[in-house]
Structure 1
């Protein structure tokens, strides 16, 4: 102590001039203690903070290892059968805990910078396979390399050579079908117009029957002629009775009175009946003109249809697919009929009647009434002539002249409209000439209807096949399907039912051509960038079972065996169910069969247009082509049942399998959310795994603690201030780390 309190003179300095370290009040020792304590405090803080930072890193690494290991325990059946990853197998919490805790290899015999103790470890699911977005994402990952190549090479390349011919055939059928309906309406209106003209002529003939001769007249041709020819006798009777022999009574009083009465009655009857016939003409003329106007409207619509469809032919799916055809693939076989189909379509233009034709016909209809009106005006002159001739015997020439003029007027009318009726006959001949092939066409249409009814019978037989033993599986998958819809907040499914096939084979042909256009448009969309639907479709084709088309044979041959109904298990028609969604064992197969027949009908009708184009009238060509298409399509379906394939076309040497057809139908119907739910439902039905509860993304939550070496109170203050994310409890710093991971 003395050493500190005293100094030698040599070292003693004045306290006002000495340094800080040489002062005599002991301040230097206190400062050193304070400085050392601060350094120790800072060092302790840095050490604990560094240990906590290292602890956080170790906690994160352990959580990452744990969550990755947890996802490695996936459902093997889902992966092997459907290429999907979903957590399964060993308990996920146990895996996560075990792997995380084993990241901390504490050795009690060695010094440990961090002595980490686990507090809690568990995992939560944040993505499930039953969610459509997650499911589709996994499908895309699996199919993104394989699907485009498969589809382009296996399907598009088969249809591409046929694109140009099918485009022309589709346009030709669409034109001819619309023109056919309008043509039939136009011709019916023209037939009614002609019939109304005939009714007017018949009215004139019936009214004048017995009064005037029809088709030329001698003096004995009718009551009018009889009056004229009997006038001489009338004059003789009058002359005789005007100067009778002496004492004789008038001899011809009765004859004179009878002639006069008859003459007046005939002239009055003629005027009355002619007036009635004229009234009938005036009643029928507006009806005839109305029918003619309707015919003109139909004719104009025919022209507009042809022009509209001609203008709308560019930039279609057919064009895009045709453009994608590879240079090394020969297309001459399909391009040849395309040019011939253009001729068939252009021939429809010849069915259009010019506007001048209708103007001439209208004038002709009105002329018929005018001509009869002119004749009717002559009946008044004849009445006057009769009155004059009876009152003045010297006026017989007036009556004779008016009768002759009256007969001539009627003869002119009769020549045009009654017998021979050259005007009516010319119109009838024109009608018959235009319709000369109609009877042959209608015969072809009757045969086509018979063939179509045969096909409808097959499809109806499919729908009515006994399949009660398979219904339970469809009921179960329906429940799974509806549950997935609700899980994805899409609402309950609405009941659907198959559409009954149309009774008209023409409508069937039009629908098949429209369907082919949709197929080519879908292919074109796929080639120009619609990726996701294609991948999903190809996934369905690769991972699910399709129906064996050989089972069609027993149904088509009506053998009565149970082979068809026995084959309707859900496991035999998974693709068809996913595609159409009917919860009836036979309905999906019937729908697939109907659509395949539609494709065959479209292609074969195209061939029929080429084969039958030499038959002349475009509508006869259409009817014959439809019959050809039905006959060949039926043969194709028989071949599909026997061999599992059909030729695409006689002009393209390639075959289509049953699966090829399903692939294009998947593209045609679009990739709806309901189809995704049906796909999930089938997976659940086959694996007994509920995808809505199968995790594809997990979050691992790991809690642990590390001991605080120096300043637990200060560390607690840091946690309160938010400088540290954990908490200090009982001298240990505790923190929780959450890590998310998924299969995508």
Structure 2
């Protein structure tokens, strides 16, 4: 039977048809599963789109899209739409694929609590609503269209130069004060020297008259001769007295002889007494000569000593005057290099330097005293005692007296003339000190008035700020700001309040700092901060600020608000943008911070205008700091008037030097401050906190990017296990199909 050929054709056909059948059966099932996979993918995406279509309408008012349903509702919606889109009829009708759902899962990947996602949605919203030209219009007004930035730059540099000039002036005045003190001491010494040397010369003249033409050598010889004669007379007297005594002892009665001897003794004693008188007179004259000689020598030594002291004082004064003049030369250089864009008249500070004639006259006067005293000392040193052309006599006495009087008279004349100059200089210093005090007080009074309107806060915001910044320690609830900062892993730093304007000196420094910061911010705004400009504009579009609801249009009517964020009904009224900007924990602090910075800019502009005014020269008193303080006080009054208008929602011209059409309002200045010093991370966290506060929506739970995973099964018609070769898991007669889809707003 095995060798029979019957049915060989059938067997051959079976062998041929069986592989073909198996191939086609597998191919049909594979095609059906592939179609089921595509249908599952389409259903998954359709269900995911349906979930995202249920966005939160409240958040939409802020230009944000986030899933509005709860996770349970979103899962139910996804499952329902997914099943409906699988096309499983279940009514017994023929279906080529017949996919059946097995499981679905829906998971949020990103939420609006994520700052990157949050910021991206803001940029999408604002790039159509706030083009860069709108954000940069403020900077254009300050730079290209008005030149205000250039004017402020000049003022900033002048402030630095003014402080330098003031220091040079103070140093110069201290030197001149010391020079005048030394000069007065020199004048006083000159008066003392005159009296002292006048007495010396008078005594020398008196001794010269007593001595006459005799000299010590002649007097010594005369005294020796007279003393020899006196000694001879003394011996003769002694002999006669001895002879008389012998006669008296011998009892010789020779009355006439005794009388003669006694008469002779008397005569000899008279002669001896006369000789002693003459010797005494000559000794006295000899003492006069010794005193005369000693007095002349000591006078010369003292004159030389005093001349050295006078020369030293003269040189000291001269050196101080040279140093003071060098400082004046530096002051002239500083004044000559004032920035051209400050538009300050160069001659406004001419009085800041002492004229060259002051130094020339001073040096001439002080030098004349020293020269005349030097001449007196030279004349004393050249005077001789008894002989020579310069011997001391009445003629020499008159010459020395005249020389002694000359330097004293010159000193008195110098003191009288220079005292007028120094009194004037001192009066100028006192006037400048008085003017500084007056202008500082004037600024302080204006600033005190300005502080009265630096905030307008109603009641009822304390609870909102507690939620935003403090939280509830009793329940362990952290603040909204901390919640979003922690979610984005931001370091939470205490917001630093903006310092007050302070006194006039502090105001100058702060105004200068604000100018520098302003110019730096304007320079940076044109390029790399495009996204930040959009982000800043969002803060002023979706949130309220102090003048919200006060601004009027060209028709004089209040501007309507079409924003869906309904910012007029928020808990923080008239302060949200300020809170976003500064992040302080009260309305007073946030509004006053904005007011202080706004006032500083207006003060800078108004101060610049005052510096450029014709009145500045008269008000400066030649002192740059007085000029600055006066300009500051003038600017403060006008800045206060500007601020009164700004906080009432009015427009204020940028500068009187610019066209009247170039104006800015409160919102424009907030836009400028956002440009200057906003930190993106903290500000974003504060935005999220405010939206959470206003809407009650926890943005951390508000999904914007969803991921879905589904699993379906397709029933196989033919040979199930052959389909495993295509990579599909097979359970019984069903192939499992898994799909993953992601979608975001």
Asked whether the two chains share a fold, i.e. TM above 0.5, the reply is yes
Spell out, residue by residue over 1:497-538, the C-alpha distance to the aligned partner (whole angstroms, 9 max, x if none). 332334235x53464365356546645654557421121111
What pairs with 1:716-731 in structure 2 (closer than 5 Å)? 716=724, 718=725, 723-724=726-727, 726-731=728-733
In 2, Cα distance between equivalents of 1:643 and 1:83: 26
> Which residues of structure 1 form unaligned runs of 5+?
6-23, 213-221, 311-340, 552-566
How far off is 1:162 after superposition?
5.7
Aligned residues of 1:611 and 1:625 also touching (Cα < 8 A):
no
In 2, Cα distance between equivalents of 1:60 and 1:550: 51
In 2, Cα distance between equivalents of 1:418 and 1:440: 23
Q: TM-score normalized by structure 1?
A: 0.74
What pairs with 1:285-304 in structure 2 (closer than 5 Å)? none
Q: Where does residue 238 of structure 2 map in the other structure?
A: none
In 2, Cα distance between equivalents of 1:412 and 1:568: 88
How far off is 1:379 after superposition?
3.0
TM-aligned CA distance change 1:451 to 1:542, over 3 Å: farther
Q: Where does residue 669 of structure 1 map in the other structure?
A: 677
Q: Where does residue 538 of structure 1 map in the other structure?
A: 537
How far off is 1:735 after superposition?
1.6
Residue 178 (str. 1) matches residue 160 (str. 2):
yes
TM-aligned CA distance change 1:292 to 1:487, over 3 Å: farther
Structure with larger Rg: 2
Aligned residues of 2:179 and 2:320 also touching (Cα < 8 A):
no
Moved more, 104-113 or 256-265: 256-265
What pairs with 1:106-255 in structure 2 (closer than 5 Å)? 106-107=88-89, 108-148=91-131, 151=134, 155=138, 159=142, 163-164=146-147, 166-212=148-194, 222-228=195-201, 231-239=204-212, 250=281
In 1, Cα distance between equivalents of 2:730 and 2:351: 96
Aligned residues of 2:135 and 2:533 also touching (Cα < 8 A):
no
Aligned residues of 2:48 and 2:743 also touching (Cα < 8 A):
yes
TM-aligned CA distance change 1:402 to 1:126, over 3 Å: farther
Q: Where does residue 579 of structure 1 map in the other structure?
A: 581
TM-aligned CA distance change 1:474 to 1:211, over 3 Å: same
Q: Where does residue 325 of structure 1 map in the other structure?
A: none
What pairs with 1:353-432 in structure 2 (closer than 5 Å)? 372=370, 375-376=373-374, 379=377, 382=380, 385=383, 388=385, 395-396=392-393, 400=397, 403=400, 407=404, 410=407, 414=411, 418=415, 420=417, 432=425
Q: Where does residue 688 of structure 1 map in the other structure?
A: 696
In 2, Cα distance between equivalents of 1:697 and 1:457: 54
Aligned residues of 1:701 and 1:739 also touching (Cα < 8 A):
yes
TM-aligned CA distance change 1:521 to 1:275, over 3 Å: closer
TM-aligned CA distance change 1:236 to 1:445, over 3 Å: closer
In 2, Cα distance between equivalents of 1:465 and 1:592: 12
Moved more, 99-108 or 142-151: 142-151
Spell out, residue by residue over 1:243-290, the C-alpha distance to the aligned partner (whole angstroms, 9 max, x if none). 999967749869888877766665554444444444555667766666
Helix, strand or coil: the match of 2:491? Answer: coil
Residue 627 (str. 1) matches residue 633 (str. 2):
yes
In 1, Cα distance between equivalents of 2:457 and 2:527: 44
- Of 5, 14, 24, which aligns to 1:43? 24
TM-aligned CA distance change 1:657 to 1:466, over 3 Å: closer
Helix, strand or coil: the match of 1:114? Answer: coil
Spell out, residue by residue over 1:604-637, the C-alpha distance to the aligned partner (whole angstroms, 9 max, x if none). 2233233335635673654443222111112223
Aligned residues of 2:461 and 2:571 also touching (Cα < 8 A):
yes
How far off is 1:61 after superposition?
0.3
TM-aligned CA distance change 1:77 to 1:211, over 3 Å: same
In 2, Cα distance between equivalents of 1:730 and 1:225: 143
Q: Where does residue 475 of structure 2 map in the other structure?
A: none
Cα RMSD, aligned residues only: 4.6
TM-aligned CA distance change 1:443 to 1:373, over 3 Å: closer
Q: Where does residue 653 of structure 1 map in the other structure?
A: 660
TM-aligned CA distance change 1:693 to 1:438, over 3 Å: farther
Aligned residues of 1:176 and 1:622 also touching (Cα < 8 A):
no
Aligned residues of 1:235 and 1:393 also touching (Cα < 8 A):
no
In 1, Cα distance between equivalents of 2:200 and 2:295: 8
In 2, Cα distance between equivalents of 1:491 and 1:375: 79
Spell out, residue by residue over 1:404-442, the C-alpha distance to the aligned partner (whole angstroms, 9 max, x if none). 685488369738964545xx978x69x95xx99876665
In 2, Cα distance between equivalents of 1:540 and 1:366: 72
TM-aligned CA distance change 1:296 to 1:502, over 3 Å: farther
Aligned residues of 1:379 and 1:406 also touching (Cα < 8 A):
no
In 2, Cα distance between equivalents of 1:568 and 1:113: 58
The number of aligned residues is: 649
In 2, Cα distance between equivalents of 1:264 and 1:568: 103
Helix, strand or coil: the match of 1:652? Answer: coil
Aligned residues of 1:382 and 1:406 also touching (Cα < 8 A):
no
Aligned residues of 1:201 and 1:417 also touching (Cα < 8 A):
no
Helix, strand or coil: the match of 1:103? Answer: helix
Spell out, residue by residue over 1:19-51, the C-alpha distance to the aligned partner (whole angstroms, 9 max, x if none). xxxxx4754433211110011011001101100
